[in-house]
Structure 1
Amino acid sequence: MARMSWKEACKLDPTLQGLTHFFSFPPEYAQTLTGGLTNRCWKVVCSQGKAYVWRPTTLITKAFSISRYQEYQILKAIQSSQLSPAAMLVNEWGLLVEWIEGDSLTDKPSFDGLLRMQARIHELAINHIPVVPFSFTARVDHYWMQIKPELKTEQVRALYEDWRNPPNLAEVAQCLCHFDLAGYNMVKTESGYKVIDWEYAGIADPRLDLALSINVAGEKILDAVFRYCQLREIEDVDKWVSGVKAWLPRTNMMALLWYLLAYQLWGDEEYYRQACHLQETFC
């Protein structure tokens, strides 16, 4: 993480000028944050020691269909839950949120703890969250249309066409989904765990969110779904097991496109290797 004066940081990243009218006095310094795949964020520290995170709007966020305005609306709506950072400001340049002081769970946390947090998020009221429900097809189409032809091999095209539509499932109530819940987005604070990086969050089928978390953690589907249903006191477990199983190949395809787009944007070979690995899982 690179630390520099506020003036230097604003020269390096012009989006920081979007905070000019928020602070009474210029911040003491700014520090680049590492760890995020999509976002290249800043820790902004004031002279009194108060710290914030600046989450800019860039060509990268637009490429991945990320809306800082939607992220702001979600954080404002769930602020009383104490599960997330407080949103302070949003404008065309980006989103400012409070800095969460604590220990990031960079090592793999207990999956039971992750499921407990996911269950809490899924049980939050959504009737006051003013965002359009998540569209799986629209999201993967958005990724697909931006990927260059040379990366669209016959196999990748076949996977995209086979899995671009959501599964036909018995309905469950839609809820707030984080869509990137893992240890790297959880912080242990003095008052408990908090979840950060809500840029992909939306209102959707919770079985999709559960499938993503199971996939990232490499957990067994039956064990994970049974435990999740136990935590939420859900009796119709079969509906959830079949739903998660139906979403898994679709989440793999979506992740495959994500990594191909990330490779195209940054040129990092690791993204391409991840895409190839996901492609192999279908074989």
Structure 2
Amino acid sequence: MSVVNLSPALKSLLEAALCEHYSAPVSIQRVTPLEGGLTNRCLRIDDSQGGRFVWRPRSQVSDAFAISRSREAAAQSLAATYQLASVPVCQLSEGLLVPWLEGESLDPHSAESQAILIDLLVRIHSMEGRLDTQDVRTQCQHYEQQLTLAKQQTLKQLRDRRQWQLPTDPLAPVVCHMDLGSYNAVIQPNGEPCVLDWEYARLGSACLDIALFCRANGYTPAQVVSDYCALRCIEGSAPVRQAVEAWLPFADYLALCWYEVGATLYGLSTYQEQAQRLYRQLAGMDES
């Protein structure tokens, strides 16, 4: 695994934050890139106290994906009060430092993991706190602006042809994670689940978040909504399921724009392939 050299100024800032965290002298011993994470390009930091942390930088890439580290820090701090996340160590203008979490990943295809993930989704939606809001159309527009004019025109033609209408939600706005997949949750050594990666969290539509959750984990609304409503003591799941199904095209279009931005930034064929698949699906060229 390659080793990363932090700038002296950033290294000094992070060591000062860690000294305050430990209330003891500490130095950064090793910095290595984490695998995956297109939008984050995060780094793992090992220190002289034996601790491990994750540095989540602000960068041109995070700006392209409309990621605010201060918004992320607020969301994760809120989740930490509900024992759903770790408490951030510090938030700087350069990025966010959070604890490294040991644990086992979840298998989205197992019934046990599905139950855990739905319970986590309900717990997130039950949190009370003040977070920023952002309309899904605004987020899509930001992504579109990162693309070439030709690509923007192609997407506009798709929107004009499909003419999607925003659904009417039967549920009040809630705190949404917006990316709750099995890849963003771990079972800690104490047996408790913990949620990672709060960079897209905001106050928004519960039904959109359920739609994104279904897509992220390969679930259908029928698999999720009944259990979700039961856990939230919502009588009558049919209106919720209908709203979630109506949000699916918006969830897919948001993912399409996200993959297009990723392909533009990094030229990764896998992201371009995903974007093409979603485009065909939304254009009605595929049955899926």
TM-score (norm 1): 0.89
Q: Look up the match of 1:21.
A: 16
- The aligned residue for residue 79 of structure 2 is 78
Say if 1:177 and 1:170 are closer, same or farther in 2 by CA, change over 3 A.
closer
- Letter aligned with residue 22 of structure 1: A
Q: Measure, in 2, the Cα distance between the counterparts of 1:166 and 1:78.
A: 32
CA RMSD across the alignment: 2.2
In the other structure, the counterpart of 2:21 is: none
Q: CA deviation at 1:230?
A: 1.6
1:201 aligns with 2:201: yes
DSSP-derived class of the 2:178 partner: coil
Partner of 2:62: 61
Cα distance in structure 2, aligned partners of 1:252 and 1:122 = 21
Residues 73/268 of structure 1: CA separation in 2 closer, same or farther (3 Å cut)? same
Report deviation, 1:162. 6.1
Give 1:44's aligned residue: 45
SS in 1 for 2:199: coil
1:168 Cα deviation from its structure 2 partner: 3.9
The 1:29/1:235 distance shift into structure 2, 3 A limit, reads same
Please list, as runs of the form range in 1=range in 2, the aligned pairs for 1:266-281 lying within 5 A after superposition: 266-281=266-281
Partner in structure 2 of residue 9 of structure 1: 5
Cα displacement (A) at 1:196: 0.5
Q: Determine the C-alpha separation between the residues in 1 that align with 2:84 and 2:98.
A: 13
Change (3 A) 1:44 1:144: same
Partner of 1:124: 127
Q: Deviation per CA, 1:138-167: give whole Å up to 9, x if none.
A: 11111111211233353x222344678761
Consecutive unaligned residues of structure 1, counting only runs of 5 or more, are none
The 10-residue stretch of structure 1 (99-108 or 265-274) with the greater mean CA deviation from structure 2: 99-108
Give the CA deviation at 1:28: 1.5
Q: Give, in angstroms, the shift of residue 132 of structure 1.
A: 2.1
Distance 1:95 1:108, change over 3 A: farther
SS at match of 2:84: coil
1:170 is displaced (CA, Å) by 4.1
Distance 2:127 2:163 in 1: 28
Q: 1:80 to 1:62 in 2, by over 3 A?
A: same
> What is residue 144 of structure 2 aligned with on the other side?
144
- 2:37 alignment partner, SS class: coil
SS of the residue 2:193 aligns to: strand
| Mapped contact 2:88–2:97 kept (Cα < 8 A) | yes
Deviation at 1:267, TM superposition (A): 0.5
Q: In structure 2, give the amino acid aligned to 1:112.
A: A
In structure 2, the CA distance between the partners of 1:69 and 1:170, relative to structure 1 (3 Å rule), is: closer
Going from structure 1 to structure 2, the CA distance change for 1:146 and 1:163 (only over 3 Å counts) comes to farther
1:93 aligns with 2:94: yes
Distance in 2, Cα, partners of 1:147 & 1:164? 21
Deviation of 1:97 (Å) = 0.7
* SS of the residue 1:125 aligns to: coil
d(CA) in 1 for partners of 2:278 and 2:9?
A: 36
Contact in 2 for aligned 1:163/1:249 (Cα 8 Å): no
Q: Which amino acid aligns with 1:9?
A: N
Q: Which runs of 5+ in 2 are unaligned?
A: 19-24
Letter in 1 for 2:125: H
Asked if structure 1 preserves the Cα contact closer than 8 Å seen for 2:26 and 2:49, the reply is no
Distance (whole Å) between structure 1 residues aligned to residue 177 and residue 165 of structure 2? 18
SS of equivalent to 1:97: strand
Distance 1:202 1:106, change over 3 A: same
Q: Is 1:228 the counterpart of 2:228 in the alignment? A: yes
The superposition leaves residues 192-227 of structure 1 with CA deviations (integer Å, 9 ceiling, x where unpaired) of 110101111111111111001111222222232112
Q: CA deviation at 1:119?
A: 0.9
Question: What is the aligned length?
Answer: 274
Q: Taking every aligned residue pair, what percent have the same amino acid on both sides?
A: 31
